[in-house]
C-alpha cells in the first residue's frame, strides 16, 4: 500500500504551512542567548536531542532537580524536576492536556488536528479510551503470553547460529510491532512501512522544537499513515473481524460516538503507541543489563526477578523522559504561583533519579522496590498499553539473556534513532 494518495486531507498545504511555522520558530530560538554563567539546564527541555545531553542526560537533570526544581522558562512555561512535585501535578492537581477553552498550547491545529485520545480531555478522552480499553486489560494481555513467547523464540531462532545480532532490528522492533499489528488488524506484510513513519510522527508531540526539515518529515509521515488507514478502513468495513480496528469501525457506524476523522486518528495513534516506546524499553533495558554485569548475573541466577528487572529498566533509563500537562487551576509549587491554563513540563527522568524517593538512584539495581516509578505517567492519561509493554519486555529480555549466556555489547557507544523518545537505532551484541 506504499504511496497511497491522501484522500481526505490537504497534506501538501499542511506541510507548506507547517514548514513556514517551524522556520519562524527556529529563527526565534536562534536569537536566544544564554546569559554568561547561566546553568547548563537553563534552556533545557525534556526532549533535548543534542548528542552530549542525550547519551547521558542524568547529571544535568540531577543538577536541575537539586538546584532549581521548579523552573520557569523564558516563554512562561514551567518545568518540574522533583519526584514529589511531578507526582503532585500528575495525580493530585486539576490538569489536562488542553487549556480550559480546549486549545493545545503552542500547537496550531489548523495544520493538523490532534484527535487521538492522548491529546484529549474529558469527556472526549474517556469516550475514546473506553472503545479500546477492553483489549488492554490485564486478563486480555495475559492471554497473549504464549503467543508473545512463541514470537520471541522464533525471532531468536533466526539469529541463533550467527553469533551476533542487532537487538533493535532483530527483536525489540519486530516483536511489539507484530503484536500491535495483529491486535489492531493491520496486515503483517505492511509492517515495514511503519518503521520510519511512526518514529517521525512522534516529533509532532513537541512541534515547537522542530526544524523546518523535521516538521516536513513528520507531517509527511502523518499523511502516509492516515492515507494508509483510510484505505485499510474502507477494506475492513467490507469484512469486519474481532480486531481493534473493527471495534472502532463498529463504534463509528453505531452513531455519533466516533467521527470518520477520529476513527483514522485512533487507529494511527494505537499503532504508534503500541510499539514505538516498547522498542526503547527493550533496547535500553538490554543495554542497562549488559552495562551492569553484577545485576545481569543476579537475573540469570534468579529468572523470577525479570518482572522487577523490567520495572528498574523503566525507572533507570525509560524511553519517555517527560510529559506535559496544562494546569486547570491556580496552583503553587514552592515559591512559584502557576496560573491556570499554564503548560507545565514534568521531567520523569529527573524524578526517577530523586534520592528522596529512590535510594542510590543513579545505580541500576534490579531488586529495588519499583512500585512508585512514573514511566507510564499518571492520572487519567496513565498508559493504556502498560500491561502489554511489560509483558513484551519481560519475555523478550528474559528469553534473550537466558538463551545467550555469553551475551555482550559490541560497543558501549550509543546510536539513537529518529524518534522523539529515547530509542536506539541499533544495539549490536555478540554471543
Across the chain, mean pLDDT equals 85
Dihedral sign, CA of 181, 182, 186, 187?
positive
Which residue has better confidence, 70 or 110? 70
Domains identified in the chain and CATH numbers? 11-430 (1.10.630.10)
What pLDDT score was predicted for residue 3?
A: 39
Cis peptide before 383 (omega within 30 of 0): no
pLDDT digits (tens, 9 = 90+) for 314-337: 999 999 999 999 999 999 999 999
What's the chain's Rg over C-alpha atoms? 21
Query: Do 426 and 169 touch, CB atoms closer than 8 A?
Result: yes
pTM of the prediction? Answer: 0.86
C-alpha grid cell, residue 301: 541466577
Mean pLDDT computed over 383-405 = 97
Query: Do 220 and 11 touch, CB atoms closer than 8 A?
Result: yes
Query: Do 163 and 431 touch, CB atoms closer than 8 A?
Result: yes
Does residue 27 carry a pLDDT above 70? no
C-alpha grid cell, residue 135: 483489549
Interhelix angle 11-30/212-237, nearest 10 degrees? 150
Mean pLDDT computed over 260-272 = 85
The DSSP string of 11-29 is: HHHHHHHHHHHHHHHHHHH
Does residue 212 carry a pLDDT above 90? no
Does residue 117 carry a pLDDT above 90? no
CA distance 267 to 247: 10
What pLDDT score was predicted for residue 85?
A: 98
219 pLDDT band (50/70/90 cuts)? confident
What pLDDT score was predicted for residue 164?
A: 97
Query: Do 281 and 167 touch, CB atoms closer than 8 A?
Result: no
User: What phi and psi, each to the nearest 5 degrees, are found at residue 82?
Assistant: -90, 140
Which residue has better confidence, 269 or 177? 177
What pLDDT score was predicted for residue 17?
A: 33
368-385 burial code (b ≥16 CB/10 A, e <16) = bebeebbbbbbeebebbb
**82-91, 135-144, 205-214: the lowest-pLDDT one:** 205-214
What pLDDT score was predicted for residue 211?
A: 77
What pLDDT score was predicted for residue 54?
A: 86
Mean pLDDT computed over 404-424 = 93
Q: Label the pairing between strands 415-416 and 424-426.
A: antiparallel
Cβ neighbors of 395 (< 8 A, separation 6 or more) are: 145, 148, 149, 152
Q: DSSP state, 4?
A: P
pLDDT digits (tens, 9 = 90+) for 122-133: 988 888 888 888
What pLDDT score was predicted for residue 33?
A: 33
Only one residue has cell 492520572, namely 379
pLDDT digits (tens, 9 = 90+) for 136-157: 999 999 999 999 999 999 999 9
Nearest Cα residue to 58 out of 288, 367, 221 = 288
What pLDDT score was predicted for residue 290?
A: 98
Does residue 375 carry a pLDDT above 80? yes
Mean pLDDT computed over 360-365 = 97
Query: Do 78 and 71 touch, CB atoms closer than 8 A?
Result: yes
Does residue 9 carry a pLDDT above 70? no
C-alpha grid cell, residue 212: 523546518
What pLDDT score was predicted for residue 43?
A: 57
Interhelix angle 293-301/260-291, nearest 10 degrees? 100
Mean pLDDT computed over 11-36 = 35
Which residue has better confidence, 425 or 209? 425
| Helix, strand, or coil (residue 331) | strand
Amino acid at each position: 500500500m506504499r504511496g497511497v494518495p491522501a484522500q481526505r486531507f490537504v497534506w501538501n498545504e499542511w506541510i507548506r504551512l507547517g514548514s513556514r511555522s517551524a522556520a519562524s520558530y527556529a529563527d526565534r530560538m536562534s536569537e536566544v542567548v544564554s546569559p554568561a554563567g547561566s546553568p547548563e539546564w537553563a534552556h533545557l527541555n525534556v526532549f533535548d536531542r543534542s548528542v552530549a545531553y542525550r547519551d547521558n542526560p542524568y547529571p544535568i537533570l540531577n543538577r536541575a532537580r537539586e538546584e532549581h526544581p521548579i523552573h520557569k522558562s523564558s516563554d512562561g512555561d514551567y518545568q518540574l524536576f522533583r519526584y514529589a512535585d511531578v507526582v503532585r501535578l500528575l495525580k493530585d492537581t486539576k490538569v489536562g492536556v488542553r487549556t480550559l477553552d480546549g486549545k493545545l498550547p503552542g500547537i496550531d491545529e489548523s495544520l493538523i488536528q490532534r484527535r487521538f485520545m492522548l491529546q484529549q480531555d474529558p469527556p472526549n478522552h474517556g469516550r475514546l479510551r473506553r472503545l479500546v480499553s477492553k483489549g488492554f486489560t490485564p486478563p486480555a494481555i495475559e492471554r497473549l503470553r504464549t503467543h508473545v513467547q512463541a514470537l520471541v523464540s522464533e525471532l531468536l531462532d533466526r539469529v541463533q547460529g550467527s553469533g551476533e545480532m542487532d537487538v533493535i532490528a532483530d527483536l525489540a522492533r519486530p516483536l511489539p510491532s507484530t503484536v500491535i499489528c495483529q491486535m489492531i488488524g493491520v496486515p503483517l506484510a505492511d509492517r515495514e512501512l511503519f518503521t520510519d513513519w511512526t518514529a517521525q510522527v512522534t516529533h509532532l508531540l513537541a512541534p515547537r522544537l522542530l526544524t523546518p526539515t523535521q516538521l516536513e518529515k513528520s507531517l509527511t509521515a502523518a499523511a502516509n499513515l492516515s492515507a494508509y488507514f483510510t484505505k485499510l478502513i474502507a477494506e475492513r468495513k467490507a469484512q469486519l473481524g474481532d480486531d481493534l480496528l473493527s471495534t472502532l469501525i463498529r463504534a463509528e457506524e453505531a452513531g455519533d460516538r466516533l467521527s470518520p476523522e477520529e476513527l483514522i486518528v485512533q487507529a494511527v495513534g494505537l499503532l504508534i503507541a503500541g510499539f514505538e516506546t516498547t522498542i526503547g524499553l527493550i533496547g535500553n533495558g538490554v543495554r542497562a543489563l549488559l552495562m551492569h554485569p553484577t545485576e545481569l548475573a543476579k537475573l540469570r541466577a534468579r529468572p523470577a526477578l525479570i518482572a522487577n528487572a523490567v520495572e528498574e529498566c523503566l525507572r533507570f533509563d525509560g524511553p519517555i523522559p517527560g510529559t506535559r500537562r496544562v494546569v486547570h487551576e491556580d496552583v503553587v509549587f514552592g515559591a512559584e504561583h502557576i496560573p491556570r491554563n499554564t503548560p507545565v513540563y514534568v521531567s520523569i527522568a529527573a524524578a526517577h533519579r530523586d534520592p528522596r524517593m529512590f535510594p542510590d538512584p543513579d545505580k541500576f539495581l534490579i531488586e529495588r522496590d519499583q512500585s512508585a516509578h512514573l514511566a507510564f505517567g499518571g492520572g487519567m492519561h496513565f498508559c493504556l498499553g502498560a500491561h502489554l509493554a511489560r509483558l513484551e519486555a519481560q519475555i523478550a529480555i528474559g528469553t534473550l539473556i537466558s538463551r545467550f549466556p555469553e551475551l555482550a555489547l559490541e560497543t558501549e557507544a550509543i546510536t539513537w534513532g529518529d524518534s522523539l523518545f529515547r530509542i536506539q537505532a541499533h544495539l549490536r551484541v555478540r554471543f
